Structures are given as C-alpha cells and as structure tokens.
C-alpha cells in the first residue's frame, strides 16, 4: 500500500505546495482523498495514474474540491466507462453534483455521489473498508480511516508435516480454517497449524479539523496518521478560531492515539520557506512526525513485516 501526497498546502497554494489531495494505491486500486484545484496535474507529475475508483471528500471548502470538475472532464476525454464514486459529508450531495456538472457537459461514464455517515462505513471491499469519522471544522466535515481486515495467521508447514498432513490441497484447507481428516482417520484442526490472525494496516486522513477525540479513536494504532497542521504553535489561538490544528496539537493527538507515524499536511502558505519549524515542533512530542512535500510517496508495510 502506497500513499502519495499530491497536495500538502493549506487554503492557498504556493509554488511548492498545491492544495489538498492524497492518493492511496492498494493492490492496483486507486483511492483519492480530496481533490484541490490542479490535482490532475499533480497526478500526472507524480505518475500516480488516473484509474481512480473512489474519491473521498473531507468537506466542501474550495481547496479540497475545486479540482473535481477538471479531473472528471479529463477522465471523460480518456474515454472512461467505469463509474466513479464520490463520497462526501452529510448534506453535501447536491452541492457536489452541481460542482461536477458545472460546465453542463455530461460525461460518458456514471458519477455516483454518496453521502457518508460519521461513525459509519463509506466503502466496504473484500479486504478493507473506509470508515468516516466526525471532525470539527467550520463546515460539515469528516475524516476517513482506511482499515484493512485481519489477515490469516501464518501456516506452520513443518508442524503440519509432523502431524502427517501431506503437502497440497489439505494445507490450503487448513489455512482457510477447516479441519482435515487424514487417511488413518486422525483429524487435524486448523488451530494446530495456523497462528493467530495478523492485523492489517490502518491509514487515517483528517482533512481540516481541530484536534478531536473521534480522530484519536480512529487513529488508534494507525500505521500512518495524516493530520492537518495548518499552523505553528504561536498561532494556536488562530488555529482554534478557524477550525484548524497546530503541528504540535497533531503530534499530541498522534501520541494519544499511539499512531506509528504522523504526516503533517495542509501547511499554511504563511510558512512557505520555514515549514521545517512545524515538523520540529511536532517532533518535540512525537518522534515519528514528518512533513511531506508534494510528490512524496511512502510505502506502508504490514505491522509484522
Ligand atoms: Zn483546507
Ligand atoms: Zn476547510
């Protein structure tokens, strides 16, 4: 699973940081989180590919959604046929439909807009789900947690052979969780040869928000928490007033949640050239905090390697 930071800037883009967007690639599937203006060019620059299946919007401020009409048009020029699903906070469906249809052109592929429920599941797939959680901004907003299912425990091949199970289909049967009967009538149970289920990975993206308990809960043990950090600590009052967080607040939350890594994004344009300050403030409380640049991508390994 790979996360690409397409836009790490705040409400106003700078030459170095575009407005918000994040791509997650998992087993060939592409999920886009937020879509600030110019996101499609960032996707080209950083080679993420365009075959996205789902877009998840955190809220409807321009720096998170204005890239949608252009992206949808380009997908149409690319002769896309598959449906595109757009997930958006409660009460914003018709605004998103209007935004996407603003030019009056109808794309040749279906666009389906779904309102998500905080605390609910926005998308359920075979091996993972994307959950929405409540955030606290100046408008209706949500964050998203991509949570993989537990994986099967490790299969102990040696132990299975010791028990007399012949290599082959019976191995898979046991690994799938079914008991098998051997030729001599002995029954081998899966628990004898399969270890404990292994946890999957968890990535959490907040969008714009003040620090919240719901975020800490969603980010509990997360492999990667991507938290907005609009401001440095000297502007904490302003952060609170405008529905944002400071880098240190994000780091406090990552500590509370016991997240493994913290990526700070949505950096205000006022910190152009001195954004290292934000990372330094965060690292005073949380070691594994970093401030990605546009185009950085990181691989998320399984917790047990
Ligand atoms: Zn924003
Ligand atoms: Zn906002």
Can you give the pLDDT at residue 243?
98
Can you give the pLDDT at residue 147?
98
Give per-residue burial for 244-261: e unless 16+ CB within 10 Å, then b: bbbbbbbbbbbebbebbb
Distance 137 CA to ligand 2 centre (A): 7
87's tokens: 């997930």
> Can you give the C-alpha Rg of the chain in angstroms?
22
* pLDDT averaged over every residue in the chain: 96
64 is in an annotated binding site: yes
| Ligand that comes closest to the CA of residue 36 | 1
156 is in an annotated binding site: no
Give the pLDDT confidence of 268-299 residue by residue, as tens digits: 999 988 889 999 999 999 999 999 999 999 99
Can you give the pLDDT at residue 303?
83
| Ligand that comes closest to the CA of residue 34 | 1
Q: Which residues are catalytic?
A: 63
223 is in an annotated binding site: no
Distance 140 CA to ligand 2 centre (A): 10
Distance 229 CA to ligand 2 centre (A): 12
Distance 143 CA to ligand 1 centre (A): 13
Residue for token pair 């000297």: 234
61 is in an annotated binding site: yes
Distance 60 CA to ligand 1 centre (A): 9
Q: Checking DSSP bridges between strand 202-205 and strand 224-228, what pairing results, if any?
A: parallel
* Cβ proximity of 204 and 224 under 8 Å: yes
Q: Would you give the DSSP letter of residue 64? A: H
| Ligand that comes closest to the CA of residue 137 | 2
DSSP, collapsed to helix, strand or coil, labels residue 305 as: coil
Closest CA to 219 of 303, 281, 147: 147
| Ligand that comes closest to the CA of residue 266 | 1
Beta bridge partners of 292: none
Distance 86 CA to ligand 1 centre (A): 18
Give per-residue burial for 181-196: e unless 16+ CB within 10 Å, then b: eeeeeeebebeebbee
Distance CA 96, CA 17 (A): 25
Can you give the pLDDT at residue 305?
61
137 is in an annotated binding site: yes
Residues of the chain with pLDDT under 70: 305
């Amino acid at each position: 699973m790979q996360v690409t930071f397409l836009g790490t800037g705040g409400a106003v883009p700078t030459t170095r940081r575009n407005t918000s967007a994040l791509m997650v690639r998992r087993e060939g599937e592409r999920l886009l989180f937020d879509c600030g203006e110019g996101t499609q060019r960032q996707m080209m620059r950083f080679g993420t590919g365009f075959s996205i299946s789902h877009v998840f919007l955190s809220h409807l401020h321009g720096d998170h959604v204005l890239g949608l009409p252009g992206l949808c048009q380009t997908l149409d020029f690319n002769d896309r046929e598959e449906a595109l699903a757009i997930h958006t906070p409660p009460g914003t469906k018709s605004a998103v439909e209007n935004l996407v249809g603003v030019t009056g052109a109808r794309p040749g592929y279906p666009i389906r807009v779904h309102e998500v429920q905080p605390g609910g599941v926005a998308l359920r797939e075979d091996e993972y789900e994307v959950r929405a959680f409540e955030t606290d901004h100046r408008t209706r907003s949500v964050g998203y947690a991509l949570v993989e299912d537990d994986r099967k425990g490790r299969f102990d091949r040696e132990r299975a052979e010791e028990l007399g199970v012949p290599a082959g289909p019976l191995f898979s049967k046991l690994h799938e969780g079914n008991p098998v009967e051997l030729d001599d009538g002995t029954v081998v149970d899966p628990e004898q040869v399969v270890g404990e289920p292994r946890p999957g990975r968890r990535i959490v993206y907040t969008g714009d928000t003040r620090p919240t308990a719901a975020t800490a809960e969603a980010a509990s043990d997360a492999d990667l928490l991507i938290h907005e950090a609009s401001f440095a600590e000297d502007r904490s009052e302003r952060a609170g007033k405008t529905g944002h967080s400071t880098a240190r607040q994000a780091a406090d939350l990552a500590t509370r949640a016991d997240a493994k890594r913290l990526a700070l994004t949505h950096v205000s344009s006022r910190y152009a050239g001195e954004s290292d300050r934000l990372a330094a403030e965060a690292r005073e409380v949380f070691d594994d905090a970093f401030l990605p640049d546009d185009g950085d991508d990181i691989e998320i390994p399984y917790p047990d390697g």
